Structure 1
Amino acid sequence: MAWSAAFETPIVLEGGRELVTLLDAGDYIAALSPAMQRRPEGQDATEALLLVAERNGPTMLARIGVMRALNRHFVPELNPKGKEPHWGRRKLKRDQ
């Protein structure tokens, strides 16, 4: 696989720009600030891109690495109960 390999689904950035190929993602990571490139997320994205492009890895691996670098500040909200409560009682057949 080469740097021209395309992602299964493009990565859409803010502003409407899309990262379609490994080369697009590599150029985007290289254009980031040196501080971001030194962070673990930036290094992981770079390593994943190199693995996929040079050693024929799955493109999904590179996509995950780039997405983790882009969404490093996102913390998902979790429901501590696990699921929403059922507020109404179920009606039994005998009560109808």
Structure 2
Amino acid sequence: MRPTGWSTFDEPISLPDGRKLVTLLDAGNYIAALPKREHAAPEWQAAIQVLILVTEGGGPTLLASNSCER
């Protein structure tokens, strides 16, 4: 069971190691676990902001999905 407010992506995001990001929470956890230097990069900070906006505002997960793919 997934927490409310953490929608699933229309299509899971495949990671290089074979894992998949299925929910916005998965994406947030993935970004949070990045090495500090990479986590602080502008593109990942932007992805975090999009995740927050989509989660709090109920926006389309496609927006967040596009922000999390590299």
TM-score normalised to structure 1 length: 0.66
> Which structure is richer in relative contact order (CA contacts within 8 A, separation 6 or more)?
2
Q: Which residue of 1 aligns with 2:60?
A: 58
Q: Percent identity?
A: 49
- The residue correspondences of 1:6-85 to structure 2 (distance < 5 A) are 6-67=8-69, 71=70
Give the secondary-structure state (helix, strand or coil) at the position aligned to 1:20.
strand
Give the secondary-structure state (helix, strand or coil) at the position aligned to 2:49.
helix
TM-score normalised to structure 2 length: 0.88
Structure with the bigger percentage of helix: 2
- Provide runs of 4+ in structure 1 moved above 4 Å: none
How far apart are the structure 2 equivalents of 1:34 and 1:11?
22
How far apart are the structure 1 equivalents of 2:14 and 2:26?
12
Where in structure 2 are there 5+ consecutive unaligned residues? none
Number of aligned residue pairs: 67
Q: Which residue of 2 aligns with 1:93?
A: none
Bigger CA radius of gyration: 1
